[in-house]
Amino acid sequence: MNAPARSPLAPSAATPLPARTLRRVSELAEAGLVAADPALEAVAARYAVAVTPVLAGLIDPADAADPIARQFVPDARELETRPEEREDPIGDAAHSPVPGIVHRYPDRVLLKLVGVCAVYCRFCFRREMVGPGAESNLSDEALETALAYISARPEIWEVVLTGGDPFVASPRRLAGLMARLAAIPHVKVVRFHTRVPIAAPERVTGALVAALRAPGVTTYVAVHANHARELGAEARAALARLAEAGIALVGQSVLLAGVNDDAGTLAALFRALVECRVKPYYLHHPDLAPGTAHFRLTIQRGQELMAALRGRVSGLALPTYVLDIPGGHGKVPVGPSYLEPAPEGWHVTDYCGGVHAYGEGV
């Protein structure tokens, strides 16, 4: 397996935490995370910026290739848009029957409760839709319409809370929403997609954890992390609070050039998640969001990385490598194939590269 290109450990020199979330280029410059640059001001004017104290403290300002900084600190290359990039790269709008709802798959819907996040990833596929003042913040009236849509369709078994980041909503609002969803007989699973346990772990309070549970529904939390260094002591404690409350945890990661595009770094991330009782669920191929070409790599490279992990990392630590088909056609697995048709049935390749005949006998 490839050696890690970057250490999964925190920077050796302690970085003082800023007192508040950094939202302006001037604040990032004062913290030593960027140099003054008019191009960065243009990026910040187009795409929301927020680097929380915890994440700022993980960044090594002396490392120009720091994988945490690369994810959250604006880059002038974000102003470069390519022809293949789309404002809505996974086609949410094509499957949005009412505001706040995306109904792409028969048995589940996305419910976009809020349009803001604790932190803004520079590769976000919804970067054109989220940020302060985003129109996707649901009004009370729009939420009622969304809940009526869910209630009227008995095929909806799961509701996925996304946005924006639903964990920025108050515990009171989340508890009320959970009670409403639990009252719909056919809704059995509620899933939250969040960066908060990583980016702002102090928000994962007892009140928030309690708000995520309601009789009659099972709660899952999908945690987004892309590098083992994101799982510091505060993040691990926040994840423990969720796990110890009986909430099932799964992990979502994005395969990003310059962040985690080598087998050693991915192995460290996935093992760290499992140690935190988070099952790695999906490894996403990066989407065609505007200004994100510098994060993208080929699907072939992604397949090579997944093949390098197979057999060398516990199955518990292996997610499914997926591509969200542009235009709203859904996710498909795009990992390496280990089967080839053969006259006697199949040729099967093992994790060391050996090829073996397999006859099905049927």
* Residue 110 structure tokens: 């996305």
* Residue 15 structure tokens: 């970085």
Query: Are 274 and 245 spatial neighbours (Cβ–Cβ below 8 Å)?
Result: no
User: Residues near 231 by Cβ (< 8 Å), separated by ≥ 6?
Assistant: 198, 225, 239, 272, 273, 276
Q: Is 339 helix (H, G, I), strand (E, B) or coil?
A: strand
Beta pairing partners, 310: 313
Strands (E), 171-275: 189-194, 218-224, 248-254
- How would you list the strands of the sheet with 339-342, edge to edge? 339-342, 345-349, 355-358
d(C-alpha 125, C-alpha 244), whole Å:
31
Counted residue by residue, the chain has a size of 362
Q: What amino acid positions are annotated as catalytic residues?
A: 104-105, 108, 117, 121, 124, 126, 287, 324, 331
- How would you list the strands of the sheet with 248-254, edge to edge? 101-105, 108-112, 158-162, 189-194, 218-224, 248-254, 279-284, 320-324, 331-333
DSSP state of 75: -
Query: Are 87 and 291 spatial neighbours (Cβ–Cβ below 8 Å)?
Result: no
Count of Cβ atoms closer than 10 Å to residue 27 Cβ: 17
d(C-alpha 347, C-alpha 300), whole Å:
21
